[in-house]
Amino acid sequence: METPFYQVDVFSDELFGGNPLAVFLRGEDFKEAQFQQVAKEMNLSETTFVLPSSDPDADFDVRIFTPEKEIPFAGHPTLGTAFVLRHAGLVPSTQNNLRLNFKAGIIPVDLQDDGKVFMTQPPGKILQTFPNPEEIAQALGLTVNNIESDLPVQNASTGFPALLVPINSLRAMQRIVLNLSLLKVLLEEAGVDMIYPFTRQTLDENNSIHARGFAPFVGITEDPATGSVAGALGYYLNNKISGDKNIIIEQGYEMKRSSLIFVTVDGAKIRVGGKTRMVFKGSLYLE
């Protein structure tokens, strides 16, 4: 059987920028074991599979797989899948609102006229605070002096929890080298798959935050752009820094895959978006 797929770069309008994503529009073509096998074969941070909706309030069901496991929700797979659905004609060009059903629940998506795609994420939550920044710094190959002292290290979520680590300089961000044995223990303690260090120093003065995302134990050595955690970071910053309702996150620069993530926090409403670039269409041959 031949089943088509698309590959797109999310959070960038430049070819070979942003976060690559593979989207299979005929998820019903696959046996259960094949979802994970295909994601491992694609070897991208995530691969999505679109299926007919199982919920009357949603337009489509979507399943997300990293090379190692299925996850309930992620940002760039949400936006990239919506973009491909419109590109392939499964969503009319006149329809600007879409509802995608993930394991974590239904996510509303807005397809804007300026080319950006935005999703409304679940409400933000702070799940845990880590009082000892020294072990965090060691896991990142840094010293405790590199942790920003006036912001806490916290586990936060808008559907995909991550450990948010405030770093006090762009130089320290660029020097991060993971200590995997320490990081594994830390992430297990936090109950999350990703650590997300960030700094308020940026390469571009028009941006608000410089970030990096690491989830090595689910097959993501480093993530060029992490939309789900960007929403959690927006919630975190809005609670810690008064008036910080609109932020632009630059990510992926150390990987030479520059990404821009736009985040808006308005009360309990968190919106995350950016642009997407079509890269190629292909076919997978299934037995």
3-state SS, one letter per residue, for 174-203:
HCCCCCHHHHHHHHHHHCCCCEEEEECCCC
Equal CATH topology for 2-121+273-285 and 125-272? yes
Q: Is 279 helix (H, G, I), strand (E, B) or coil?
A: strand
Distance CA 136, CA 88 (A): 44
Q: What is the pLDDT of residues 156-174, one digit of tens each?
A: 999 899 999 999 999 999 9
Beta-carbon contacts of 54 under 8 Å, excluding residues fewer than 6 positions away, are 61, 101
The pLDDT, as a whole number, for residue 17 is 94
Q: What CATH fold (topology level) applies to the domain 125-272?
A: Diaminopimelate Epimerase; Chain A, domain 1 (3.10.310)
The pLDDT, as a whole number, for residue 245 is 83
Token pair listed for 249: 């996150």
State the catalytic residue, choosing from 2, 14, 41, 46: 46
Q: Is 216 helix (H, G, I), strand (E, B) or coil?
A: helix
The pLDDT, as a whole number, for residue 243 is 63
Token pair listed for 3: 């089943």
Q: What parts of the chain have a pLDDT lower than 50?
A: none
Backbone angles phi, psi at 198, to 5 degrees: -150, 160
Q: Is 77 helix (H, G, I), strand (E, B) or coil?
A: helix
Distance CA 139, CA 127 (A): 20
With tokens 């979520």, the residue in question is 157
The pLDDT, as a whole number, for residue 115 is 86
With tokens 């299926």, the residue in question is 51
Show contacts of 140-146: CB within 8 Å, 24+ apart: 140/165, 140/176, 140/177, 140/178, 140/179, 140/183, 140/195, 140/197, 141/175, 141/176, 141/177, 141/178, 141/179, 142/167, 142/172, 142/175, 142/176, 146/172
The pLDDT, as a whole number, for residue 242 is 60
- Pick left, alpha or beta for residue 173 (phi over 0 → left; psi -120 to 50 → alpha; otherwise beta): alpha
Backbone angles phi, psi at 119, to 5 degrees: -120, 150
The pLDDT, as a whole number, for residue 267 is 83
Beta-carbon contacts of 202 under 8 Å, excluding residues fewer than 6 positions away, are 170, 208, 209, 210, 250
Beta bridge partners, 253, equal none
Backbone angles phi, psi at 88, to 5 degrees: -85, 0
Going by DSSP bridges, is the β-strand pair 195-199/162-166 parallel, antiparallel, or unpaired?
parallel
Whole-structure pTM value: 0.93
Q: What CATH fold (topology level) applies to the domain 2-121+273-285?
A: Diaminopimelate Epimerase; Chain A, domain 1 (3.10.310)
Beta-carbon contacts of 228 under 8 Å, excluding residues fewer than 6 positions away, are 73, 74, 75, 78, 121, 158, 159, 160, 162, 272
Backbone angles phi, psi at 245, to 5 degrees: -100, -20
How many Cα atoms within 13 Å fall on the side-chain side of residue 67?
Answer: 15
- Does 287 qualify as catalytic in the annotation? no
For the chain, domain boundaries: 2-121+273-285, 125-272
Q: What is the pLDDT of residues 119-146, one digit of tens each?
A: 999 999 999 999 989 999 999 999 999 9
